[in-house]
Structure 1
């Protein structure tokens, strides 16, 4: 029995999502750009963003996310709801990526301990930049 073909998942650009939630301006450019981490207070950038790879990561928090991961965390919703929310908010722009295959883990927020990782808590209520919630 053949499996039905999965539809492509449309992700909004990481620059638009970082702008929406954290007021972080990201210029479209090749490679990685340094940014202040939106998850903890800092004066020197410890995070970076790639508009090519459509991901951001913080070396201190050990968090690595794409735009759907950010939406899931900030809106406290699941993957499918985050897709619908992104489509309603950002429309059809962004990158087409294959949908996750059931039974295979996806890539998302990587926190906690593990090989080569230091244990550090992310403080979810702390925002250096303005946000819509208190």
Structure 2
């Protein structure tokens, strides 16, 4: 019998962005515009949300939480990044349940924004329950 997943702590996104990229995020409700930490910006093309503990770039089409940043920057797995972040950021932040034990379940998302996904069509393949009569 497997044990239920335990809550994991994520450091605040504002602290992580400040630590790695010297980006100041305004502590307010909703999304705040920030320069993208992954490419040179003349105008801010990214935003961060301290309530959702996420940032995303509209140009790169990247979306991450604070643990995802630590995993990428420190080249660590989820559990190692969680322990590293807990030691570095004093474990402050929100508690979340991972989708899969040992996995963040919220990794970097590349590709078109949601709602604009194109489906690949395979001739002769149909979904279960489709009626071709």
Q: Same fold (TM over 0.5)?
A: yes
Q: Who is 1:43 aligned against?
A: 42
In 1, Cα distance between the equivalents of 2:38 and 2:4? 37
TM norm structure 1: 0.78
Shift of the alpha carbon at 1:3? 2.7
Q: Which runs of 5+ in 2 are unaligned?
A: 118-133
SS state of the match for residue 30, structure 1?
Answer: coil
How many residues align structurally? 116
Q: Who is 2:10 aligned against?
A: 11
Q: Who is 2:131 aligned against?
A: none
Structure of greater relative contact order (alpha carbons < 8 Å, 6+ residues apart):
1
Cα root mean square deviation, aligned: 2.2
Q: Who is 1:94 aligned against?
A: 93
**Larger of the two Rg values belongs to structure:** 2
**Comparing 8-17 and 93-102, the one that deviates more:** 93-102
Q: Who is 2:67 aligned against?
A: 68
Shift of the alpha carbon at 1:112? 4.6
The ranges of structure 1 where at least 4 consecutive aligned residues each deviate by more than 6 angstroms after the TM superposition are none
Q: Which runs of 5+ in 1 are unaligned?
A: 118-134
In 1, Cα distance between the equivalents of 2:79 and 2:7? 12
TM norm structure 2: 0.79
